[in-house]
Structure 1
């Protein structure tokens, strides 16, 4: 499916869930354009979409994140109204955690706040997009046009005009030609080459390479550690559970959620044991 072309058509002609997205965006203080395109990126507006790795529904929620945002039963994940509202609330929280940075909030939505996602969020904060996974980079690139805040200039400088990505420092591109083979040429067409000026290194990348920072402020150790700890707690399963409890009605039963969290924290193949 050619998503960008399909999205342009849907945005121009109107989609099946525009009113639900508008309501959710307005209710939770999230940009309508951002939420609308993000949900199309997640599922192409298919309420029954299911990823082989587990995420499902329009918002492509995992079991544990969905539970934290009110998707308690299997059918809740496939309910457009519930999934869209959950996605809006999740993005609202992610934007708060990211300090208002919509681009970083999208990376948090796509990669999560666990061990894998946390490393990518730290790389993003440094302006080091070589530390962001190809999936995360593709997600940010596809949605950066509907964000108003974040490291858009740095990302744009990192992403090549043809849609590829710069190779990380120290890694050379592998030539496509195989030694001994006759290379394909276009000499018969009379084509000639043209010198192209080298791309300037982004300021953030140079600053990080020389100072280890992406801004010129001297931040204390405890300020950085405190911010990291705060983000880690808020993006954890426990943090999402606390958020769910705060927003739930007084009669809500959270024993199932507690059991899920207990199992999750003791699964060495997912998040590791609680002692870790």
Structure 2
């Protein structure tokens, strides 16, 4: 399973939270991207503090929210409201939002009571992880006035999300399950690589073949033998054009210009 193909699990978790609340005849919570971004900042600061029982041994101070998290997210400080509660948890491997909800975050009556608190008006979720784990989740609640608290400057356009994801954003998760030098499995013309290392292998092979072919061509030109016949000359040019096309596709994969075709993993 590829985390990028999951879209934005933080948004999915907000939907699950609201479904649980409405099932208890409680109002839905507004999905606040400012809260979501700060929730992502929270778990990013707490990386490396996941215990064996899936709890996070990390508690950022109140000053961290106003002096670090909010500025990093571009939250307009005059709109910084009241955070009425938070739930955090972690898992050694990535699990889908529904399982994260029941197995990681809402594991006891205290967490369930906080989830169903009637004073909450807004919610934000952040999630981050890497290929070796763990994966950390954070849910922040606010009791402020809807749409007037934790407002992002320029609607969050300035946020450069490099890792993880947060709710209220259309940006998919990044660097979630694997963060290696090779690009994530991509799709070229809807043909998916079976292994994430394939794209790097393709790029390496293309480089080798291209270099070898260039050397052979230069040798041919020097010897003035194999390139005498028009057929060989045209064949060589066609071969080099094909390799150039492969190199271009490999480059597109590397820079991420070719997006994965949505579908189940």
Which category describes the TM-score, using the shorter chain as reference length?
A: under 0.3
More helix by share: 1
Per the normalisation by structure 2, the TM-score is: 0.25
Q: Which has the larger radius of gyration?
A: 2
User: Bigger relative contact order, structure 1 or 2, given CA contacts below 8 A and separation 6+?
Assistant: 2
Per the normalisation by structure 1, the TM-score is: 0.24
